[in-house]
């Protein structure tokens, strides 16, 4: 289970994505920034490297966010989460719009998978709305009539009511979601960019210190660190910003 956030340092609250195509690239980045304790493995790397990358991270005593965003019928989501929980990772993502039955099945199966393999149970967290989606896309492309923040809130409440430990949300929704969902609910926030950084494809972004102040539990920060001239220095500067402003 997640540590109490009040005892965590700034470095422990930053998750750095391994958004690289190969195992070799991933290990090179991990070893370049030894102070990073929490890494995200997403679709590209997991499809390329498979579970072997998770073993490499565990050997280095890293925490792991397995970000595969399962979204399917309840039986399929349950099977996927049962298997994923057996890897001994810390966070696993599913999509909230899969619905309550699927979310409940996924949560129960994750607990079963962890128990069967002797692993600590993972925290299952639901993606409310991808941070690449802006209000116009939500309304005109996805045909959702709710305001973006109201939609994110509904998905968060659905996840919480289904027994999940937390959600993935934009930092711009974090303050409102924290008020409604309480202090123990995990808010994992991508779309975090240091001041002066390019937003890239993130439509709903905040700076690291702003996101923490808004109520984020963890920050997912990728390109501003991984693509910096000196990734270790970039990571430390973000940690310092959070600490100073926190």
Q: Is residue 3 scored above 60 in pLDDT?
A: no
Is 70 annotated for ligand binding?
yes
72 is in an annotated binding site: yes
Rounded Cα distance between 133 and 40, Å, is: 21
Per residue in 43-81, is it b (16+ CB within 10 Å) or e — as a string? Answer: eebbeebeeebbebbeeeebbbbbbbbbbeebeebbbbb
Task: Judge whether residue 191 has pLDDT over 90.
Answer: no
The pLDDT of residue 202 is: 47
Alpha helices in 73-187, H assignment, sequence order: 74-85, 100-117, 135-136, 148-161, 171-181
In a domain, 2, yes or no: no
Name which of 113, 105, 108 is nearest 72 in CA terms. Answer: 105
For 137-187, the pLDDT digits (tens) are 999 999 999 999 999 999 999 999 999 999 999 999 999 999 999 999 999
Give CA separation, 71 vs 75, 96, 114, 119, in Å.
11, 8, 20, 24
75 assigned binding-site residue: yes
Residues 105, 38: Cα–Cα separation, whole Å:
27
Which residues are bridge partners to 167 per DSSP? Answer: 126, 187
Q: Which residues are catalytic?
A: 67, 69, 72
Determine if residue 22 is labeled as part of a ligand binding site.
no
Domain that holds residue 181: 7-245
Q: Does the annotation list 243 as a binding residue?
A: no
Report CA 100 to chain centroid distance, whole Å: 20
Q: Is residue 1 part of a domain?
A: no
Q: Is 50 exceeded by the pLDDT of residue 2?
A: no
Q: Annotated binding residue at 193?
A: yes
* Residue 51 is assigned to a structural domain of this protein: yes
222 known member of a binding site: yes
**DSSP for residue 119:** P
- Give the pLDDT confidence of 192-214 residue by residue, as tens digits: 988 766 555 445 578 999 999 99
Closest CA to 80 of 62, 63, 98: 98
* Residue 25 in marked binding region: no
Instruction: Name the domain count of the chain.
Output: 1
Q: Find the angle CA(101)-CA(68)-CA(172) to the nearest 5 degrees.
A: 85
Asked whether residue 210 is domain-assigned, the answer is yes
- Residue 64 included in any domain: yes
H/E stretch holding 187: strand 186-189
Instruction: Tell me what pLDDT residue 72 has.
Output: 98
Structure confidence at residue 246 (pLDDT) = 59
Where residue 206 sits, what CATH number does that domain have?
3.20.20.70
């Amino acid at each position: 289970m997640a540590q109490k956030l009040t005892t965590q340092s700034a470095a422990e609250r930053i998750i750095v994505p391994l958004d690289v195509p190969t195992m070799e690239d991933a290990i090179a980045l991990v070893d370049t920034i030894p102070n990073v304790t929490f890494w995200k493995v997403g679709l590209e790397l997991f499809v390329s490297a498979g579970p072997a990358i998770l073993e490499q991270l565990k050997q280095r005593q890293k925490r792991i966010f397995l970000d595969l965003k399962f979204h399917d019928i309840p039986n399929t989501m349950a099977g996927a989460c049962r298997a994923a929980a057996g890897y001994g990772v810390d966070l696993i993502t599913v999509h909230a719009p899969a619905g309550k039955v699927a979310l409940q099945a996924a949560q129960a199966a994750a607990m079963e998978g962890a128990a069967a393999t002797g692993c600590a149970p993972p925290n299952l967290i639901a993606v409310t709305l991808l941070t690449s989606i802006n209000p116009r896309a939500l309304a005109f492309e996805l045909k959702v009539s709710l305001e973006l923040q109201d939609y994110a809130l509904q998905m968060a409440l659905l996840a919480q009511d289904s027994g999940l430990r937390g959600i993935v949300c934009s930092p711009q929704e974090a303050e409102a979601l924290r008020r409604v969902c309480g202090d123990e609910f995990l808010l994992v926030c991508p779309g975090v960019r240091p001041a002066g950084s390019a937003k890239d494809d993130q439509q709903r972004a905040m700076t690291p210190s702003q996101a923490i102040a808004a109520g984020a539990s963890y920050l997912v920060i990728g390109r501003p660190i991984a693509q910096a001239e000196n990734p270790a220095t970039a990571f430390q500067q973000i940690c310092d910003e959070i600490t100073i402003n926190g």
